[in-house]
């Protein structure tokens, strides 16, 4: 099992250029659990994720990993503990799946050495876990969206971090692939104890797959807790400005949000 | 060991083998071209004579033609070609855009403008002209970088600003050529299209030094360069200090390109063509810095040989590479336009 870490955002204020998106947000990520950040478009979910993964430097506050500010840690050292899969990563032209996944090994490699046995093993394991071994020598450009997403997650797995951030890993995927990706991430969490933090758009899938939810609104933290504790029609109204009914998901026994809308009455 | 592991190892070995074979073949072609450069001329000297001259023996006639004229020409072409090749490849890879190379974004135009200004307006000596061209190139990079930099770094913005700056500098060069004395024009012309004519040993030492010193540094950062291809966010989260890497790579590649430009003038399109050709030949997976440098050497030497001997008139090397490179630029622009991204 992966070791326990404390990862906290302490009073962070963050954003892009002159625009402040997050204001004074403090959260603590539960170790070895799946946390999902939810909220309406533009509420700062992605900014929070990126700030906590060192992609954005906060203008105020600190992100602390095991008591140390992540912005002061050596980049490679941090990259062995914390990884992030961006929303739309850039694909180098003509790269094979195995090679791309292999780039996840960068923080474990020294400059002059070639690939070590551990590197090969980590890549093989990541490919197997994502069920993409048959594509190993294929060109990324030939794969479908769902297959490609599995390749990117495999790259993040090859990095073998204890904490994995994912920025909307299921966007642009069919429902089948969405469930498949979330199942794979759950497996990763159950099998290795990897701490997973992600931004998801689908509130019902979030309620089903998250151990812990963070609800954001206008750059501030609105509520946090396990889905069963916090997901109510009031919270949904406040977070998304949407009238809804919250019932129990017959399959997972987690909260299920049923939107109302203008043409349907309760 | 399981099957997946074996297939990954085999795949990687296959790519490595391909890299080694192609790099070796390119090295061999470069050496043959270097030899040909020394043998061919008004008088053709056999290999033995050339080798004897290189070993320091006095050979009737050959010592002067090979040692004093052809050797500096060959070395200037080799080192400049190598510098343009690796510099161009690094820019294109780092900025993830085939258009992002020293020619297109105006670094070479900056060097040329400074040199032409020194020749025509200041009537400066050759040394001053070379130094000015290096400073001109570096200053242009700094200006482009400063103008395209806001809180975040945008490659598209850098390229567009570079093209704009290049247009301004070219207008400035044209103006200088119009007001210049007729007897200054020939030496100024060299700065518009590169040429190996009149290369002398003492003028190519600085370029040789910097290529020899910086090539290992750039090869050392080859792995980082590959990581930058994954984009800002992915490479950062994989532990690459993207700003530091970019600054080091940029300073090294700009310096070698500026020195190469100061030595031979801007040999058109070599920096632009070498990277894509290397990538086509070797593929992705290993750093293509070295193959790109060798392709640069081959392009320059082959183009110079064609320019010298294929036609009744002699053409400078830059004219030939321009004829080869321009259609590729047009092809690339059409393709990028269809894909809809710059």
**Chain A, nearest residue to B153 by Cα:** A17
- Quote the tokens at residue B23: 């790099």
Give the phi and the psi of residue A254 in degrees, each rounded to 5. Answer: -100, 170
Rounded to two decimals, the pTM is 0.87
Which residues make beta-bridge pairs with A259? A244
State the alpha helices, DSSP H only, in chain A.
45-52, 75-79, 97-102, 117-129, 145-158, 175-192, 203-209, 227-230, 233-240
| pLDDT over 90 at B59, yes or no | no
Q: How close B149 gets to chain A, by Cα (Å)?
A: 11
Q: Which residues of B, range 202-231, sit inside 8 Å of A by Cβ? A: 220, 223, 226-227, 229-231
B239: nearest CB among A78, A115, A120:
A78
Question: Which among B143, B133, B83, B82 has a CA at the least distance from the CA of B109?
Answer: B133
Question: Which among A222, A133, A130 has a CA at the least distance from the CA of A181?
Answer: A130
Looking at the predicted complex, does its ipTM rise above 0.95?
no
CB A98 to CB B12 under 8 A? yes
Please give the torsion angle defined by the CA atoms of residues B228, B232, B233 and B237, in that order, rounded to the nearest 10 degrees: 50
Residue B55's pLDDT is: 85
Residue B197's pLDDT is: 83
Beta strand residue intervals within chain B, DSSP E: none
| pLDDT over 70 at B339, yes or no | no
Residue B24's pLDDT is: 96
> Which residues from chain A sit within 8 angstroms of residue B226, using beta carbons?
92, 103
What 3-state DSSP class applies to B298? helix
> Which residues from chain B sit within 8 angstroms of residue A120, using beta carbons?
5, 8-9
B227: nearest CB among A18, A50, A106:
A106
Whether residue B111 contacts residue B133, with contact meaning beta carbons closer than 8 Å, is answered with yes
pLDDT (average), residues B292-300: 96
Positive or negative, the Cα torsion across A227, A232, A233, A237?
negative
CB atoms within 10 A of CB B3: 10
A265: Cβ contacts below 8 Å, ≥ 6 apart: none
B5: nearest CB among A17, A102, A121:
A121
Instruction: Check residues A197 and B124 and name the one with the higher pLDDT.
Output: A197
Residue B341's pLDDT is: 54
**Chain B, nearest residue to A112 by Cα:** B220
CB B96 to CB A54 under 8 A? no
Please give the torsion angle defined by the CA atoms of residues A51, A52, A53 and A57, in that order, rounded to the nearest 10 degrees: 30
CB B238 to CB A106 under 8 A? yes
B284: nearest CB among A17, A92, A123:
A92
| pLDDT over 80 at B332, yes or no | no
> Which residues from chain B sit within 8 angstroms of residue A53, using beta carbons?
237
CB B238 to CB A103 under 8 A? yes
Which residues make beta-bridge pairs with A220? A217
Q: How close A243 gets to chain B, by Cα (Å)?
A: 36
> Which residues from chain B sit within 8 angstroms of residue A76, using beta carbons?
239
Pairing of strands A163-167, A195-199: parallel
Lowest model confidence (mean pLDDT) among A193-202, A232-241, B116-125, B211-220: B116-125
CB A93 to CB B231 under 8 A? no
Residue B48's pLDDT is: 84
CB atoms within 10 A of CB B117: 21
pLDDT (average), residues B123-132: 83
Residue A189's pLDDT is: 95
> Which residues from chain B sit within 8 angstroms of residue A137, using beta carbons?
7, 11
**Rounded Cα distance, A108 and A142, in Å:** 29
Residue B340's pLDDT is: 57
Instruction: Check residues B11 and B302 and name the one with the higher pLDDT.
Output: B302
Query: For each of chain A's 266 residues, which pLDDT tens digit applies?
Result: 788 999 999 999 988 877 889 989 999 999 999 999 999 988 899 999 999 999 988 998 999 999 999 989 999 999 999 999 998 888 888 889 999 999 999 999 887 777 888 899 999 999 998 888 888 888 888 888 888 999 999 999 999 999 999 999 998 888 998 999 999 999 999 999 999 999 998 999 999 999 999 999 999 999 999 999 999 999 999 999 999 999 999 999 999 999 998 888 77
> Which residues from chain A sit within 8 angstroms of residue B220, using beta carbons?
111
pLDDT (average), residues B245-250: 88
Q: How close A24 gets to chain B, by Cα (Å)?
A: 21
Provide the edge-to-edge strand list for the sheet that holds A19-29. A19-29, A7-16, A60-65, A68-69
Whether residue B243 contacts residue B59, with contact meaning beta carbons closer than 8 Å, is answered with no
Residue B58 DSSP one-character state? -
Residue B53's pLDDT is: 84
Residue B212's pLDDT is: 94
Percent pLDDT > 70 in chain B is: 96
Q: What is the pLDDT of residues B138-183, one digit of tens each?
A: 899 888 888 887 666 677 788 888 888 988 998 999 899 888 888 8
Half-sphere exposure (Cβ direction) of B249: Cα atoms closer than 13 Å: 27
């Amino acid at each position: 099992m992966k070791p326990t870490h404390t990862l906290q955002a302490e009073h962070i204020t963050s954003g892009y250029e002159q625009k402040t998106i997050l204001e004074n947000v403090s959260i603590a990520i539960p170790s070895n659990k799946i946390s999902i950040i939810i909220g309406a478009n533009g509420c700062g979910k992605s900014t929070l994720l990126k700030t906590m993964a060192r992609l954005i430097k906060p203008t105020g506050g600190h992100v602390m990993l095991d008591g140390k500010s992540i912005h002061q840690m050596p980049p490679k050292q941090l990259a062995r503990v914390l990884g992030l899969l961006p929303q739309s990563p850039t694909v180098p032209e003509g790269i094979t799946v195995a090679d791309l996944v292999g780039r996840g090994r960068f923080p474990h490699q020294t400059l002059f050495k070639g690939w070590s046995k551990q590197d090969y093993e980590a890549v093989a394991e990541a490919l197997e876990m994502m069920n993409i071994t048959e594509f190993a020598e294929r060109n990324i450009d030939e794969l479908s969206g769902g297959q490609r997403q599995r390749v990117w997650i495999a790259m993040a797995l090859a990095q073998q971090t204890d904490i994995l951030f994912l920025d909307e890993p299921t966007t642009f995927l069919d429902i089948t692939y969405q469930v498949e990706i979330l199942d794979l991430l759950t497996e990763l969490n159950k099998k290795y104890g990897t701490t997973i933090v992600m931004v998801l758009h689908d509130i019902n899938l979030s309620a089903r797959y998250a151990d812990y939810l963070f609800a954001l609104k206008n750059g501030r933290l609105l509520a946090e807790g396990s889905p069963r504790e916090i997901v109510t029609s009031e919270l949904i109204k406040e977070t998304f400005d949407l009238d809804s009914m919250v019932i129990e998901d017959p399959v997972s026994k987690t909260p299920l949000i049923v939107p109302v809308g203008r043409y349907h009455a309760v | 060991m399981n099957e997946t592991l074996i297939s990954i190892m085999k795949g990687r070995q296959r790519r490595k083998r391909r890299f080694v074979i192609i790099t070796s073949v390119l090295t061999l072609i470069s050496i043959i071209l270097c030899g040909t450069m020394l043998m061919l001329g008004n008088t053709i000297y056999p290999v033995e004579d050339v080798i004897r001259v290189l070993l320091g023996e006095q050979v009737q006639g050959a010592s002067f033609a090979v040692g004093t004229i052809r050797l500096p020409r060959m070395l200037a072409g080799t080192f400049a070609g190598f510098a343009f090749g690796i510099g161009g490849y690094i820019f294109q890879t780092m900025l993830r855009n085939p258009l992002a190379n020293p020619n297109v974004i105006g670094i070479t135009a900056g060097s040329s403008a400074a040199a032409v200004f020194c020749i025509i307006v200041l009537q400066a000596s050759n040394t001053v002209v070379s130094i000015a061209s290096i400073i001109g190139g570096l200053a242009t990079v700094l200006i482009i970088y400063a103008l395209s930099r806001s809180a975040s770094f945008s490659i598209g913005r850098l390229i567009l600003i570079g093209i704009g700056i290049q247009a301004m500098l070219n207008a400035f060069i044209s103006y200088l050529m119009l007001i210049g004395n007729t007897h200054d024009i020939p030496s100024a012309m060299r700065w518009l299209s590169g040429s190996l004519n009149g290369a002398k040993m003492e003028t190519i030492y600085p370029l040789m030094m910097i290529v020899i010193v910086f090539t290992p540094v750039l090869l050392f950062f080859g792995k980082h360069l590959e990581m930058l291809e994954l984009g800002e966010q992915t490479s950062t989260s994989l532990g690459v200090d993207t700003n530091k890497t970019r600054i080091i790579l940029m300073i090294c590649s700009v310096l070698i390109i500026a020195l190469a430009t100061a030595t031979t003038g801007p040999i058109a399109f070599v920096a632009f063509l070498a990277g894509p050709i290397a990538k086509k030949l070797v593929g992705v997976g290993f750093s293509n810095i070295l193959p790109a440098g060798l392709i640069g050497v081959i392009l320059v030497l082959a183009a110079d040989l064609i320019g010298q001997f294929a036609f009744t008139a002699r053409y400078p090397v830059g004219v030939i590479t321009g004829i080869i490179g321009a259609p590729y630029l047009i092809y690339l622009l059409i393709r990028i336009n269809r894909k809809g991204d710059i």
